[in-house]
A and B are shown apart, each in its own frame.
Chain A
Amino acid sequence: MIYYAMALYPEAQPFIWQMNLKKRAEETHLQIFENEETCLVITGVGEVQAAAAVAYLLARRPPKAQDLLVNVGVCGSERQPLGTCYLCNKIVEQTTGRTFYPDILLRHPFEEAATMTCPVVAGDGANETALLDMEAAGIYQAGQMFLQPHQMAFLKIVSDAADGRRLSKQQVEQLVQRHAETIIAWSKQAQACLARQQAELFSPEEEKAIEAAAAEHGLTLTQRRQMQQLLRYDKLEQGDIGALLKELPERMESGKQEGKQYLEQLRQHIL
């Protein structure tokens, strides 16, 4: 699953349209759009609203190790060219001075910069970071309760010179539209790359077989963990545990075996 978080509807609209996301009518507190592999939330403007919305989304739809949270939004910058999309390698929370560092492990097509999350449109301290935004620090802090630092990406598109000038909804939408296709394509591949790295060791069939064997031999919770450990080693070493799970009971003495005996036989067989 890829989770997108945008403050405003015009920032989200190009993504909703391109991925054909459907609005969840039953969600009355927030606007949430989704399809099978994507979930997008419109958070509202500012750190607190953004953090609350992301926490709500991730608590309702708990992420897995291969999932990704992508925050996309416009930002201000005195120095960086208008329209450029930046991946943030550092997030400074202006109100507290705290800093956050998303892990950037994968190759990407974006420029990189630091952003400062400010409570108002143009904040002081603009010289400390290249970009100024209003949500990133809140989203990071909410996200880190559910995700690891490499599972969060913050993409900011420069829309103004941090001088308080307001853009029309249409202007924001056009700015985001220019980068939406690239962001979507990169996010999908980044998530696929993480999924390849985090593949489950046991197939669903193997999980069932392990569970059945544990139940058959009356293993306690601790013994089940020990069994999982032995089988994990065997699968990693041999590549397959199917035959082992099938043949082992036949080799055991007839009659109901105590869990301890079963584990010992399994251990001897594997080692």
Chain B
Amino acid sequence: MNNFDNISFKPAFSHIYIEEKALYHPVTEQILQKFPQAKQIRIAHYKDVFCRSRQQFGLQKQSPKLILAKRENTCIYEGAKPCQSFGHTHFYYASGVMNCFYDCEYCYLQGMYPSANLVVFVNLEETFRQVEELLQKFPLYLCISYDTDLLALESMLGYVRRWIAFAKKWENLTIEIRTKSANYAKIADLTPSNNVILAWTLSPQETMARYEHGTATTAARLKNAGAAAADGWNVRLCFDPVLWQKHWQESYKQLITETFETVSPGEILDCSIGQFRAAKDALKRMRKNRPDSALLHYPYQLQDGVYQYDRERAAELMGQIKRWVENYLPPEKIFLWQGEE
């Protein structure tokens, strides 16, 4: 093989790094069976690979590797300021997988993690144990698909099914499963639960095509959301992040029209609208990782430690989209992220 004219990146998960502690876990075995061609490399601790210095996130995203590990410390964290709590007092998120299979240009993960490789914590049972501990103290609103897209990984992991089964046992637990996938079919056979929210992030199709690399099309997501709502699931629609771009009025008006033509407004639990925002240091890292992204290099304004559109532009963008959504949903079902909540 001396002709390398078309040298390209290795496929995703060409290499799987496995912590010695995770070697014989059933989830590890299940994942390894899915990738028989992958090179398996034993490691002492996931941070030996994930936290190496000077990794190139942008290039790694073109050939992400998988790291299988066992979580031994905290798996549940309090929700951060830029995340919406939807009025819940005890808002937490679980980090069972670090990093996402998709490659959205605006994703905050590229400013948060030192590596684009995916870490899967195979001992989900430990997360369940920690959630149970918190549930003894107070009711919990828990986002389980924030630092990843769990439904996108369902064929590989099956974690969404396990979370839904777990939630059935705890009335004082509400979980949100957010996705940009069209994988509803993977869980469509399950009985809908009152305390499980399936949330789809929605963007105009041209935004999806330009910035949300690898994700399902807007039409496919809408079809999934419609099917889930019709089956009786709590469905949340997230117009988040809303992005300012040329012809944004036409794009978002069309998206909102299409959304409520596909998903019956009466079957929607609620809807969130949030403008693009990124913590100061995170955006700096995101820009470094993606020097070719116009979206990230837009001259955002720094307000309260968070980069966002200037107030005038944000008000115009958010106000208009809210008004369009109000044509279909009552105000109490619309949650906004516009600076301070």
Contact = CB atoms under 8 A, between A and B. Distances in A.
Interface of A: 89-90, 99, 101, 103-107, 109, 112, 114, 144, 147-150, 181-182, 185-186, 188-190, 192-194, 197, 201, 226, 229-230, 232-233, 236-237, 267, 270-271
- Most A CB contacts (10 A, CB to CB) among B3, B55, B292, B299 go to B299
A110 to B, nearest CB: 9
A182 B1 contact: yes
26 contacts: A89-B15, A89-B39, A101-B17, A101-B41, A101-B49, A103-B60, A104-B14, A105-B10, A105-B62, A106-B7, A106-B9, A107-B7, A107-B10, A144-B53, A149-B55, A150-B56, A150-B60, A189-B4, A193-B7, A193-B8, A229-B297, A230-B299, A233-B297, A233-B298, A237-B294, A267-B299
Given A201-B292, A236-B293, A103 B298 contact: no
B36 interface: no
B73 interface: no
A232 B297 CA distance: 7
B41 A105 contact: no
Nearest to B117: A103
Closest A-B pairs by Cβ, 8 of them: A189-B4, A236-B294, A109-B1, A105-B63, A189-B7, A233-B297, A237-B294, A148-B54
B169 interface: no
Given A185-B2, A185-B4, A104 B52 contact: no
Nearest to B40: A89
B41 to A, nearest CB: 5
Nearest to A267: B299
Contacts of B15: 89, 104
Contacts of B291: 201, 232
A185 B60 CA distance: 23
A105 B2 contact: no
- Most A CB contacts (10 A, CB to CB) among B14, B41, B53, B297 go to B297
A117 B285 CA distance: 34
Nearest to A194: B59
A83 B49 CA distance: 30
B294 A233 contact: yes
A22 B165 CA distance: 68
Interface in B12-35: 14-15, 17
B164 interface: no
A31 to B, nearest CB: 28
Contacts of B9: 105-107
Nearest to A89: B41
B43 interface: yes
Given A150-B60, A182-B2, A229-B299, A106 B55 contact: no
A45 B294 CA distance: 48
A144 B7 contact: no
Contacts, number: 94
A103 B3 CA distance: 22
A197 B292 CA distance: 10
Interface in B261-297: 291-294, 297
A229 B284 CA distance: 12
Contacts of A105: 9-10, 59-60, 62-63
B39 A106 contact: no
Contacts of A106: 7-10, 63
B5 A189 contact: yes
Contact of B41 (A114, A150, A181, A237): A114
Nearest to A189: B4
Given A101-B48, A109-B4, 4 more contacts: A101-B52, A103-B59, A107-B7, A229-B297
Interface string B284-328: 000000011110011100000000000000000000000000000
Nearest to B58: A197
Contacts of B190: none
B297 A150 contact: no
Contacts of B54: 144, 147-149
Contacts of A193: 7-8
Nearest to A193: B7
Contact of B55 (A148, A189, A267): A148
Interface string B58-81: 111011000000000000000000
Interface in B164-199: none
A197 B59 contact: yes
A165 to B, nearest CB: 29
B299 A233 contact: yes
Contacts of A114: 41
A267 B60 CA distance: 33
